[in-house]
Amino acid sequence: MKTILITGVSSGFGRAIAERLSANGHKVIGTVRKPLAERVTFETITLDVTQSDSIKSGIETILRENKHIDVLINNAGFGLTGEMELTSPADRKKIFDTNLFGYMDMIDAVLPSMRETKRGLIINIASLAGIFAIPYQGFYATTKFAVNGYSESLRYELKDSGVNVVVVNPGDYKTGFTGNRILTPIHTEYQERFDTVVKAIEKDETKGLNPSHCARLIEKIILKKNPNYRYIAGNLEHKASVLLSKILPQRIFSKIIASHYHM
Residue-by-residue pLDDT tens, the chain, 263 positions = 899 999 999 999 999 999 999 999 999 999 999 988 889 999 999 999 999 999 999 999 999 999 999 999 999 999 999 999 999 999 999 999 999 999 999 999 999 999 999 999 999 999 999 999 999 999 999 999 999 999 999 999 999 999 999 999 999 999 877 777 889 999 999 999 999 999 999 999 999 999 999 999 999 999 999 999 999 999 999 999 999 999 999 999 999 999 999 98
Q: Which residues contact 177 (CB under 8 A, 6 or more apart)?
A: 12, 78, 79, 205
Q: Which residues contact 16 (CB under 8 A, 6 or more apart)?
A: 210, 211, 212, 214, 215
Q: Cite the active site residues.
A: 140
Q: At what angle do helices 102-117 and 52-66 cross, to 10 degrees?
A: 30
pLDDT in the model for residue 220: 97
Q: Domains, the chain, ranges and CATH?
A: 3-260 (3.40.50.720)
Strands (E), 184-248: 230-233
Residue 122 contacts residue 107 (beta carbons within 8 Å): yes
Q: At what angle do helices 236-247 and 250-260 cross, to 10 degrees?
A: 150
pLDDT in the model for residue 1: 87
Q: Does pTM surpass 0.85? A: yes
Q: Which residues contact 68 (CB under 8 A, 6 or more apart)?
A: 3, 113, 114, 117
User: Which helix (H) or strand (E) segment is 46 a member of?
Assistant: strand 43-46
Q: Tell me the C-alpha to C-alpha distance, in Å, between residue 136 and each of 82, 141, 178, 204.
A: 5, 9, 14, 15
pLDDT in the model for residue 177: 76
Q: φ and ψ at 61, to 5 degrees?
A: -65, -45
Beta bridge mates, 71: 4, 121
